[in-house]
Amino acid sequence: MDCPVWAEVSREALRHNLRVVKEIVGPSVRVMGIVKANAYGHGLVPVAKILEEAGVDWLGVARGQEALELRREGVDHPILVLGYVHPAECPALLAQEVTLTAYSEDILREWAGIAQREGKRLKVHFKVDTGMGRLGFKAEPAGKEAILRLAALPRVEVEGIYTHFACADLPDEKPTRDQLEKFIMLLEELERAGLSIPLRHAANSAALIRFRESHLDMVRPGIMLYGLLPFPSARVNLSPAMTLKARVVQVKRVGAGFPVSYGWTYRTSRPSLLATVAAGYGDGYSRLLSNKGEVLLRGRRVPVVGRVCMDQLIVDATELGEVEPGEEVVLFGRQGEVSLPVEELAEKIGTINYEVVCAVSARVPRVYL
């Protein structure tokens, strides 16, 4: 790749991970591939098209503009917007037959009025808050009555209903089982009241793996589609889809006591070989990895020394003996037989694997292999 920093995304890894999901849930359960946040940093449109071709049933996004971008690029699978949609976005989304999340009576009535004026169907999935505390109707009688009222509005077409688990990745199973029980009870009450909703879904990646009873009619894998584990003890054969790479752009030999990068937070303890790498926090490589990160160079781990800069970082390549400008560096992923997992970076900076890949910035080209 003729650029200083780039991300390689494996098509086969994405296809493999979708196959793993389908093997877990079986043929009768549909799969909504979650591609929000630029497909967790992997590239919204290319990933959506790969998943579409590989047999995903639905696509899930967080924002209206993500759905519209997919439609502009020819993605015609059903799309659910999981988050807030401003009323001004509503006409364009209705015209493209994008499904919206109905999470409150006020917002749905506003959308329904727009649909009436536009002469369009308003396709919705109701969101039920069973314990997350974010969006959704409460799983109690008032919530049930609101859903029944709203489902009868002109132009409203109820395609689905869903909830989201707060603790499915944690060892204690009780919170998730309690949430699922609340959701099932509400579904049963709606059925008794005469409202049968075709698609019921609840399971994210963690629940998909741990709670078979949560699969219902459809599952919503996100992080596992990208080959990353939703919890550390997960025993599933996933393939990480992204490798973040950069180039060595300068090599220099320095003496002991040489200061490195902003603030001189690091000084060499011996005569050293320093390699400057063309990647920094402007590309999504966290500044929190200053003086604690490692990268792969010539198939070996070498430490990041000094502060990570916006566009560059420096590594101590002394143990390698020789390094040439232009050599390939892996910031996370695999180089030869050596792996540097996303989870390791996440642990070092006190976050989760989701954030590490989502942080890879827009200026980093994605290459699909």
Cross-strand pairs, 297:
300, 329
Q: Is 126 helix (H, G, I), strand (E, B) or coil?
A: strand
The catalytic position among 84, 144, 162, 262 is 262
Cα distances from 307 to residues 169, 276, 344, in angstroms, run 33, 12, 19
The catalytic position among 22, 36, 123, 144 is 36
| Amino acid, res. 338 | V
Q: Is 134 annotated as a binding residue?
A: yes
Q: Is 262 a catalytic residue?
A: yes
| Amino acid, res. 333 | G
Please give the Cα distance from 68 to 117 (Å, whole number).
20
Put residue 193 in one of left, alpha, beta given phi > 0 → left and psi -120 to 50 → alpha. alpha
Both tokens of 117, joined, read 């004026």
Both tokens of 110, joined, read 């506003």
Please give the Cα distance from 47 to 59 (Å, whole number).
10
Q: ∠ at Cα 296 (9, 281), nearest 5°?
A: 70
Q: Is 292 a catalytic residue?
A: no
Please give the Cα distance from 260 to 345 (Å, whole number).
22
Please give the Cα distance from 207 to 224 (Å, whole number).
11
Catalytic residues: 36, 262
**Which positions make up the binding site?**
134, 310
**Which positions make up the binding site for substrate?**
134, 310
